[in-house]
Amino acid sequence: MVFEPTASTITFLLLNENETLGALLQPPRDAVDVILTNPPYVTQGSSIYRREIEQISGARNGVSLDEYYDTGGLGVEALFLRYIAGALKPGRRAFIIVPLGLLNRTASRMKSNLLSECNILASIALPRNAFFNTAQPTYILALEKRRVPNQSRPPVFCGIARSIGETLDYERVPTPDDNDLMDLANLFIRYVEDGMGEVISGPTAYADTQIAKLVPADMFGKDDRWDVTRHWTDEEQVALGQRAEAVERGAFVDQVSQTFRELLTDLDSARAELDALEDGPMGTFALSDSSRFTVRSGVRIRNVDLRDHPGEVPVYSVFTRANVIKGRIDADWLREAKGVEPEEFPSVTVMATGASAVGLVHLREAGSVMTDDVVIVQPWPTEEPGVIDVDGSDTGDNRLSSLGDDGLPAHDIDLGYLAVALARTIAQGGYMYEAKLYVRRVTQLVIEVPVREDGRPDTERQVAIARVVKRIDEIRDRIDEANRWIRSSRLA
């Protein structure tokens, strides 16, 4: 891509003259106002680019490429930094995603050449997995083209972003209330608008926040590391959750031993209780029995619907974690646009799609709504003309209008147990490996339910089993938490 500046505009020309170098083939000079970029960053194989540049003869945009890019540094990102520094107009800025390795490796020549053209305005550490396709730590490096060679350098705005407004796994669930990156962006804007003229002698907290500091420009010289965590003390990094407190080895052994002894005791107790509860008669019940179960899909709700019609109703979709919502939607819009109300009663849901989510089972509260890639299962029929009494007579009451003490329609399969039984059936049947698990497929499932001697469902055993299974899940969470602590512990 080539920049052709005119009197009032810059024209972008797409070229395919050299597939290896691409935009590097035609470096613009003092032509661009703002650059926002995430250039490729690789060190292995970057010699291909260097050799290709050496073979280019003649001037390109008035420069010899071999000399122009001979500024030192490893990796393709070093070439693009040279490209970016040359492209900016004096006083204009670039915001570049760079790997941590570029900032903390020894590259005096590259850094010296970059500093001769630009001031460093900001260096902001992003959390690991900020980009879902790489676990490599990354930074935002903000540069400003120097106006004159002897221009003074402002303090560098340094930040540590622990969160970016969405989860750091493949699901990328929005977390608008947890967004250090947005906070740092606002602080940086404030810093720039204030003139960047503060006089400091060392790393100084900015605006009474833990995540931002101003650092003297002379600490970002050609022989310095340009990453930022070194400007936070160990105690400050512990407070930010970036580093664990040091633990003495003896105390570490004692803590781990005690934790796992408690976990094993709790597991043994739960296993014994579960074995006793399941050592009784069991019956099989098909979800296709419409007199006992309701199986249906949710409603189509797009991301744009959530943005355009925000509200208070939680929307659940195909996420692996039970507490993650897709967003919150307006109840009036649901009624008018979709003809549905928020769920009147709790339900069990089965994830119908998603490579990692398909087949997962969750228990959902009333007042929520599910998307159309979620199957809703409830242990009562949608419509039931009458309720049959224990003596076989028709009470004349509609099943949904006669709510029990728990506020739910009459049912003899506990919701919590239904979630346990469905999860077991899906796991044992290998359904979690299927690409889709929509209503028709879920309706074909059969679950095992504790029953009395007369064959009727035993709700007391169901509730007790569901309670024990919940305890086992909580123990598993404690094991995960212990493992995270073990991996992150710094031993003294």
Q: Residues of the chain with pLDDT > 90: what percent?
A: 51
Residue 390: pLDDT band with limits 50, 70, 90: very low
Please name the amino acid found at residue 479.
Answer: I
55 and 138: one domain? Answer: yes
Q: Is residue 482 part of a domain?
A: no
Q: Classify the C-alpha dihedral 326-332-333-335 as positive or negative.
A: positive
Spatial distance between the Cα atoms of 256 and 248, rounded to a whole number of angstroms: 12
Reading the block at residue 252, the tokens are 């570490």
Find the mean pLDDT for residues 338-355: 91
The confidence score (pLDDT) of residue 461 equals 95
Residue whose token pair is 């926040």: 209
The confidence score (pLDDT) of residue 18 equals 63
227 and 360: one domain? Answer: no
401 and 338: one domain? Answer: yes
- Provide the mean pLDDT of the chain: 85
Q: Classify the C-alpha dihedral 239-105-164-326 as positive or negative.
A: negative
Domain of residue 370 covers 282-457
User: Residue 101 pLDDT > 60, yes or no?
Assistant: yes
User: Residue 345 pLDDT > 70, yes or no?
Assistant: yes
Q: Is residue 251 part of a domain?
A: no
Lowest mean pLDDT among 16-20, 71-75, 342-346: 16-20
Q: What is the pLDDT of residues 176-206, one digit of tens each?
A: 889 999 999 999 999 999 988 888 889 999 9
291 and 435: one domain? Answer: yes
Give the residues across from 174 on adjacent strands: 166
The confidence score (pLDDT) of residue 26 equals 74
Reading the block at residue 414, the tokens are 């506990």
Instruction: Report the 10 Å Cβ neighbour count for 288.
Output: 14
Lowest mean pLDDT among 56-65, 348-357, 465-474: 56-65
Our count of domains for the chain comes to: 2
Q: Where are the beta strands (DSSP E) in 151-248?
A: 156-160, 204-205, 212-215, 246-247
CATH value at residue 416: 3.90.220.20
Contact between 103 and 122 under an 8 Å Cβ cutoff? The reply is no
Q: What is the pLDDT of residues 418-432, one digit of tens each?
A: 999 999 999 887 665
169 and 72: one domain? Answer: yes
Q: Is residue 161 part of a domain?
A: yes
User: Residue 8 pLDDT > 60, yes or no?
Assistant: no
The confidence score (pLDDT) of residue 287 equals 95
The set of residues, in sequence order, having a beta carbon less than 8 Å from that of 171 and lying 6+ positions away, is 319, 320, 321, 324
Nearest by Cα to 88 from 38, 153, 33: 33
Spatial distance between the Cα atoms of 87 and 37, rounded to a whole number of angstroms: 13
206 and 324: one domain? Answer: no
3-state helix, strand, coil in the chain (%, to 5): 35, 25, 45
126 and 210: one domain? Answer: yes
Q: What is the pLDDT of residues 282-319, one digit of tens each?
A: 999 999 999 999 999 999 999 999 999 999 999 999 88
234 and 316: one domain? Answer: no
356 and 436: one domain? Answer: yes
Q: Is residue 147 part of a domain?
A: yes
User: Residue 4 pLDDT > 50, yes or no?
Assistant: no
The confidence score (pLDDT) of residue 323 equals 83
Lowest mean pLDDT among 190-194, 205-209, 370-374, 435-439: 435-439
Q: What is the pLDDT of residues 10-47, one digit of tens each?
A: 444 444 566 666 677 778 888 899 999 988 766 555 67
Residue 437: pLDDT band with limits 50, 70, 90: confident
The confidence score (pLDDT) of residue 268 equals 94
Nearest by Cα to 68 from 7, 132, 117, 35: 117
CATH value at residue 213: 3.40.50
Q: Is residue 462 part of a domain?
A: no
Measured CA distances, 403 to 168, 235, 380, 399 (Å): 43, 56, 11, 8
Residue 395: pLDDT band with limits 50, 70, 90: very low
Q: Is residue 352 part of a domain?
A: yes
Spatial distance between the Cα atoms of 411 and 362, rounded to a whole number of angstroms: 19
SS3 track for 263-294: HHHHHHHHHHHHHHHHCCCEEEEECCCCCCCE
Q: Residues of the chain with pLDDT > 70: what percent?
A: 86
Reading the block at residue 39, the tokens are 């250039």
228 and 298: one domain? Answer: no
Spatial distance between the Cα atoms of 366 and 342, rounded to a whole number of angstroms: 7
Nearest by Cα to 106 from 275, 223, 271: 223
150 and 206: one domain? Answer: yes
The confidence score (pLDDT) of residue 11 equals 44
Q: Is residue 265 part of a domain?
A: no
38 and 179: one domain? Answer: yes
Q: Is residue 8 part of a domain?
A: yes
